[in-house]
Chains A and B, each alone.
Chain A
Amino acid sequence: MLEQKVKYEGDCDKEFAKWVTSQTGGENLRHCIQCGICSATCPLSLYMDYTPRRLINMAREGFKKEVLGSFTIWLCASCYACRVECPKEIQVTDIMYLLKRRAIEEGVYPRRFPIPVLAREFGRMIFMFGRVNETLLVIDLFLRTNWFKFLGMTGLGMNLMRTGRMSLIPETIKNRAELRKVLDALDADEKSKREAVS
């Protein structure tokens, strides 16, 4: 079947464009001159479906579906190379974070793709123990995404065991109640704000 490959301006989601340019850090997306230094310095751009330069232009024009469904936002490794080179001082890394959060909210991120799963499990482990046990986190991640790949990790696991760098017992903080109160208070704050809006 033939598909429309080029979008008319009217096909874009202007609400999304408005939203992204009104967020903290998103205001100066309008200043982007499309010079492409972000894509040039990005060590991951050659694996991305849209380079950072292109993603920025698409985001501010309202290509909501393409931007939120892209691998680009998840491949960003937060190395901040683009951020320090950008002549317009656009905080590209934080823009990626903003888009990741929106993609999660809308439930449009690539399913079973390990990166969003890692982020979620990371948070869960902190809430449970206050600290993260790398070994348990990695095991959990592979079982949830691709348990077959887990078998390929046995060599590394043995090496870590041999050098005393692996532990299967989670470290916990003493005052977990305090930490949970802090995190719960933020959830409550978020909820009351959402209710006020609706």
Chain B
Amino acid sequence: MKKYLYFPGCSLKGSGKAYEESFLAVCKALGMDIRELEDWNCCGATAYMSVEETKSYALAGRNLAIAEREDLDVIAPCSACYLVLNKTQKALKENTEIRRKVVNALKAGGLDYKGTVKVRHPLDVLINDVGLEKISKLIKNPVKGLKLAPYYGCQIVRPYATFDDQHDPVTMDKLMKAAGAECVTWPLKTRCCGGSLTGTVPEVGLRLAYIILKEAKKRGAGAIVTLCPLCQFNLDGYQGKIASKYESVDMPVLYFTQVLGLAMGLPGSELGIKRGIISAEAVLAGGGLR
């Protein structure tokens, strides 16, 4: 089987620990050969990209240069990392001035980058490399009765959708259905969760998160399932504030890798289920899971 490098990014080592735990557990159960990128640095995310463009390309460039030595695809589960690494690849390819600056800066640090690394998302790898057929065979404990609202957020399919549709992505829906869950149809799959505005301008950010939560509830979802550590943090962590400002929604927010892991029969303790601030235990028990 193909080998991969894993780029966790800062969130998966912090507030998004459950994503790392469940992602790696699922990879292991699927027999994937994956290891963490050596001495990776922060991708810079949107906050840095928007004000220090060239430096942000260089930050991503250092990670790509380290990955290129191994000649393997890099899996970046976090949406911001995925976008920034891919955006850097594109800029280095298309803009000669940026390439000159970044390549020279990397050289000053003793690094060399030719531009051959492929940056991929777990959804892309699971659907296109591993395949639904293989995954379906490993579903021992289908999550029957679990009704999910698949939430993709912004930066996975926009602006460079390569493996899924920009307006109506379906790869996560397919995986969740393979796991035995039911997916609600809703129009907010790719609407912004508020990003860092929940912290910087809460009067605006909280409302964006509230809109997503409320719509998922209205459509009958028992939980939201997502693929981004910031979306998970905003939708899960700020529900207390949202309850006092608007109304209580009480909606657990899981990572798709957690649901997949449960369906594959992995114990909840290995998947970080208890790390949710809004407990998912009741809704999972309803789906015949503990």
Q: Mark B127-160, 1 if CB is under 8 A from A, else 0.
A: 0000000000000000000000000001100110
Question: B71 contacts the other chain (Cβ, under 8 Å)?
Answer: no
- Decide yes or no: A123 and B274 within 8 Å by CB, A84-B166, A132-B42, A173-B41 being known contacts: no
> Are B13 and A171 in touch, CB under 8 angstroms?
yes
Question: A58 contacts the other chain (Cβ, under 8 Å)?
Answer: no
Q: Which of B106, B109, B194 has the most CB of A within 10 A?
A: B109
Q: Mark B1-40, 1 if CB is under 8 A from A, else 0.
A: 0000000001101111110000000000000000000011
A123-B45 Cα distance, complex, nearest whole Å? 10
For chain A, give the interface size range: 35 or more
How many residue pairs, one in A and one in B, have C-beta atoms under 8 Å apart?
Answer: 185
State how many angstroms separate the Cβ of A84 from the closest Cβ of chain B: 5
A123-B167 Cα distance, complex, nearest whole Å? 32
What is the chain A residue whose CB lies nearest that of B190?
A81
Measured between beta carbons, the chain A residues less than 8 angstroms from B44 are 122, 126
Question: A182 contacts the other chain (Cβ, under 8 Å)?
Answer: yes
> Are B39 and A182 in touch, CB under 8 angstroms?
no
Measured between beta carbons, the chain A residues less than 8 angstroms from B159 are 80, 83-84, 91, 93
State how many angstroms separate the Cβ of B265 from the closest Cβ of chain A: 24
Q: Mark B184-225, 1 if CB is under 8 A from A, else 0.
A: 000000111011110111101000100000000000000000
Measured between beta carbons, the chain B residues less than 8 angstroms from A138 are 199
Question: A33 contacts the other chain (Cβ, under 8 Å)?
Answer: no
> Are A163 and B276 in touch, CB under 8 angstroms?
yes
Measured between beta carbons, the chain B residues less than 8 angstroms from A135 are 14
> Are A123 and B51 in touch, CB under 8 angstroms?
yes
What is the chain A residue whose CB lies nearest that of B274?
A163
A90-B286 Cα distance, complex, nearest whole Å? 47
Q: Mark A52-85, 1 if CB is under 8 A from B, else 0.
A: 0000000000000000000000010111110110
> Are A80 and B101 in touch, CB under 8 angstroms?
no
Measured between beta carbons, the chain B residues less than 8 angstroms from A173 are 39-41
18 CB contacts below 8 A, A to B, read A44-B197, A77-B194, A78-B155, A79-B158, A93-B159, A101-B53, A115-B196, A115-B200, A119-B48, A119-B52, A131-B10, A132-B10, A133-B14, A134-B15, A178-B111, A182-B108, A185-B104, A189-B104
Please give 12 more A-B residue pairs, beta carbons under 8 A apart, in addition to A84-B167, A123-B48.
Answer: A77-B194, A79-B195, A80-B159, A81-B154, A104-B51, A115-B201, A119-B51, A132-B10, A134-B14, A149-B202, A182-B109, A185-B107
